[in-house]
Chain A
Amino acid sequence: MVLDFGFMKSSFFLALRGIPVTLFITVMTLLISIPIAFAIAVARAGKKRKTLNLLFSVYVSAVRGTPVIVQILIIYTMLPDLLKFIIEKLALPFNVYAINNIFYAILIFSFSMIAFLSEVFRAGLRAVGRGQYEAALAAGLSGFRAYTRIIAPQAFSAVLPVLCTSVNNLIKTSSLCFAIAVNEITGIIRVAASRNLHFVEGFLVIAAIYVIICMAVELCFKILENKAKVHRVSA
């Protein structure tokens, strides 16, 4: 088997155009899901939240128990019709079919990231423990300040390694967007390769690109971890 290096080179530059889309989906998803997931984790950490806990554990199990591609297909086939129905009911001057598929992708990934990250943050909050929260209250801080100043920074630094893995997973999962015709890295190359049937070359190129992106993310998290290290109690 001979690889077409010319095509590999041209598809490499072609795929670069998909990187901003991939990163946009990733960053937007994180911006939406991190605050919500953290709020859920905090709410669930409180006492006497039986109904809330049950509700979220069902949600988490549902998200965990379905393949992301299935989630994509369900939401993508269901949501536009649903939106259209609502828009027509309310007679809004808005065309459902003008919504870029990227936004569906962000919505779908946020949906599963919230479930996943809320579990991660729950573990992080538990790692910090209740004592420092009480100490903050006793020192006169409000509950909100206690979380933003004392608890959250430590919970975040405790879960940084897991967070790194989930960000990388998200970047890789975003490749599934080709199923709804979003022009991210995988989608672009799939289309390009189908023209001359050099699929192997194209896929090898995008594999390399994903590796590079994910390594860059890992590096960023390593730097963050080193910065956060000083806070952590040496075991």
Chain B
Amino acid sequence: MLELTGVCKFFGKNEILKGVNLKVDSGDVVVILGPSGSGKTTLLRCINFLEIADKGTMVFGDKTIQLRRAKKSEVAFVRKKTSFVFQNYNLFNNKTALENVTEGLIYGRKIPAKEARDIGVKALEKVGMLDRSDFYPSQLSGGQQQRVGIARAIAGNPDVILFDEPTSALDPELIGEVLGIMKKLAAKEGTTMIVVTHEMSFAQSVATKVIFMDSGVILEEGEPREFFVHPRHERTKQFLRSILYETEYNI
């Protein structure tokens, strides 16, 4: 459904992505792991043109798009077929929870306001935020804001949702509610997702495919069981050790 080939991205002289290939099929939950600075987030942002890649092609459905010279219509097409959940939620602060969901439907997808409202209500219900639909983001907790962020992402019925470290900015206590919703989306709705995260438990239990990135390349990819039990690459082993067993240190 979505295939990226040879994605390169420079920030100044730093090469952040060095020719990344990625294939996502419908119903996949692809989890991208890797140390910070490895290019995970940049890769995700290149998919919906929040960053413009310097090289690479994207095949989305039956369209082939050159990432560097994407036309306006192609950018609009991809943005319509995808949605993005941000690390810092990035809710519209001047809009209520419901308006946050309907804004993109009305002004991005040209859906009539009334219909958009119905879709918005359903989306908020799915993330358990219907009782907060008239609240402004400033009146919501981080976890609640991110749930609205997810409602905004699912409302447009995208082919794939891109999650950029959706729980990294949350208090530990609030991580569960957000991960729970993501699990539900994957299991019940079969939503296709690409998730950049540090939540190993989510990767282990929900992912259909795990990708490990380091310094701008994909070092290793595979099914979660294979990946976590028999990592092939030394760098992957080192990374998994440091993340999975960090609590075992005795000082």
Contact = CB atoms under 8 A, between A and B. Distances in A.
B64 interface: no
Given A140-B156, A233-B93, A145 B136 contact: no
A140 B49 CA distance: 12
A139 B94 contact: no
Contact of B107 (A141, A153, A233): A141
B136 A140 contact: no
A149 interface: yes
Interface in B114-162: 136-138, 152, 156
A174 interface: no
Contacts of A230: 136, 138
Contact of B103 (A131, A141, A153, A234): A141
A233 to B, nearest CB: 4
B22 interface: no
Contacts of A140: 76, 79-80, 104, 107-109, 156
Nearest to B152: A139
Contacts, number: 74
Interface in A127-152: 128, 131-132, 134-141, 145, 149-150
Interface stretch (B12-20, B29-37, B84-92, B178-186): B84-92
Interface residues of A, number: 22
B94 A150 contact: yes
Contacts of A132: 90-93
Contact of B108 (A131, A141, A153): A141
B37 to A, nearest CB: 20
Chain B interface: which size bin?
20 to 34
B83 interface: yes
Nearest to B138: A233
Contact of B94 (A131, A135, A153): A153
B7 to A, nearest CB: 18
B236 interface: no
Interface string A154-166: 1001000000000
A135 B79 contact: no
A232 interface: yes
A149 B83 CA distance: 19
Given A139-B104, A139-B156, A231 B48 contact: no
A6 B109 CA distance: 68
A128 B137 CA distance: 14
A26 to B, nearest CB: 27
Task: Give the dominant DSSP class at A's interface.
Answer: helix
Interface in A6-32: none
A136 B103 CA distance: 8
B50 interface: yes
B91 to A, nearest CB: 7
A154 B138 contact: no
B83 A131 contact: no
A131 B93 contact: no
Contacts of B50: 134, 137-138
Given A145-B107, A232-B138, A138 B83 contact: yes
A47 to B, nearest CB: 11
Contacts of B86: 131, 134-135
B209 to A, nearest CB: 23
Contact of B136 (A138, A150, A157, A231): A231
A151 to B, nearest CB: 9
Contacts of B84: 134-135, 138
A139 B108 contact: yes
Contacts of A233: 93, 137-138
B174 to A, nearest CB: 17
Contacts of A157: 94
6 closest A-B pairs (Cβ-Cβ)?
A140-B108, A139-B104, A135-B90, A138-B84, A131-B90, A231-B94
17 contacts: A131-B86, A134-B50, A135-B86, A135-B92, A137-B79, A138-B48, A139-B104, A139-B152, A140-B79, A145-B107, A149-B103, A150-B94, A150-B103, A154-B94, A157-B94, A230-B136, A233-B138
